[in-house]
Amino acid sequence: MAASKSLKSSDRQSIIKKLTTELKKRYKGGLPKTNLSVIETLIYATLLEDSTHEDAEAAFQRLFDHFFDLNEIRVSSVDEIKQVLGDLRDADWKAFRLREALQDIFEKHFAFDMEGLKRKTLDAAQKELGAIPHQTDFAQSYTLQTCCTSHVVPVDESMLLALRWLALTDAESTGQQAADEVKSATKKSDAPQFCYLLKYLSIDEKLSPAFVQDIEDTVTGHDASKRLAGLIKNGPPKPPKAKPAKKAAETKAAPAKKGTTKKSSKTSVKKTVVKKKPAPKSTTKKAAAKKTTTKKPAASTPRKVTKKKPVAKKATRKSAKK
């Protein structure tokens, strides 16, 4: 995997500008304008993680169409919330996080009101959001960037894979480490747009398969814009899987041949044994047949004698009458 250790903050800033220009050609439109509250933004950020804006907006709308209010979501089961979210990625995990967040906020404030977060400093706001259980860095950073206009960069797992492929961060970097690197290379006013475009790139069905493939160690972030243009034009390369498949086939074929030779030898032995056994059986049957033929004439001779005796008696009776 490529590394980004040689990149300076100024170099990374120049690369991000070129990438932004290239991404604008593919992904039209600007940042979505929302008038959501802090809690609603936190919910939307949870739904948006590793998903498209369109899928997150649709799930968000279904959520508030199905449930009467936030309190009903809080007292609902995770399975019920999951069913409402539909085929959203990681719907079960997101449903659990939503319910736990609403439960924690209600127990602390006895209301679903977090608008005071906008008036706090960045450190205080991060601390308050970080105290909510099961919340990710992406959801917290997205809420801070959207509601508090803080200079933070939300990076989820899909965006992290894209940043690694672009060699803007190391292969071993975490999402928060990559977010800090991008933050240091972007202005506060430019960060939301780059994150918006990077989000679309990371979940692009045609391009995202390339982000899970290994790339050469010689690749650096300086080639990011050129490599991205090639990826958009030609698509991701097919992974080389032919060689491992042949080796596996050869190893499997070898024991198969041994098994066939053993079976053939066993079957040939069985056939010879079967041929020898019927021979004596046939001779015994013939001998038994001969014995039965000798018995039949002995049984027929006494029957003929008994028939002749009555005939002799009738002859004597006729002679007496005459």
Tell me: pLDDT of 282 over 50: no
Residue 235 has pLDDT above 50, yes or no: yes
Please indicate, yes or no, if residue 296 is contained in any of the structural domains.
Answer: no
In whole angstroms, give the CA distance from residue 35 to residue 149: 13
- Residue 77 domain-assigned (yes or no): yes
Is 294 contained in some domain? no
Whether residue 245 lies inside any domain: the answer is: no
Lowest mean pLDDT among 40-44, 231-235, 270-274: 270-274
The whole-number pLDDT of residue 216 equals 79
pLDDT band at 218 (very low <50, low <70, confident <90, very high): confident
Question: pLDDT value at position 310?
Answer: 47
Q: Give me the phi and psi of 183, to 5 degrees please.
A: -60, -45
Per the document, the length of the chain is: 322
> pLDDT class for 30, splitting at 50, 70, 90?
confident
In a domain, residue 291? The reply is no
What number is the average pLDDT over the span 120-127?
A: 96
Q: Is the pLDDT of residue 104 over 50?
A: yes
Residue 51, helix vs strand vs coil: coil
Q: Amino acid identity of 250?
A: E
pLDDT band at 243 (very low <50, low <70, confident <90, very high): low
- Residue 303 falls within a domain, yes or no? no
pLDDT score for 322: 36
CB atoms within 10 A of CB 206: 11
Report the percentage of the chain scoring pLDDT > 70. Answer: 72
- Mean pLDDT for the chain overall: 81
Closest residue by Cα to residue 100 from 69, 130, 124, 75: 75
Mean pLDDT of 309-320: 42
- Number of domains making up the chain: 1
Percentage of residues in the chain having pLDDT higher than 90: 64
**3-7, 14-18, 85-89, 94-98: least confidently modelled range:** 3-7
Give yes or no for residue 22 having a pLDDT over 80: yes
Please tell me the distance from the alpha carbon of residue 82 to that of residue 280, in angstroms, as a whole number: 77
What are the angstrom distances between the C-alpha of 22 and each of 148, 189, 229?
29, 19, 7
**Has residue 24 been placed in a domain?**
yes
Decide if 94 is inside a domain.
yes
Domain range enclosing 40:
9-234
Write down the pLDDT at residue 314.
43
The CATH number linked to 218 is 1.10.340.30
Q: What is the pLDDT of residues 148-178, one digit of tens each?
A: 999 999 999 999 999 999 999 999 999 999 9
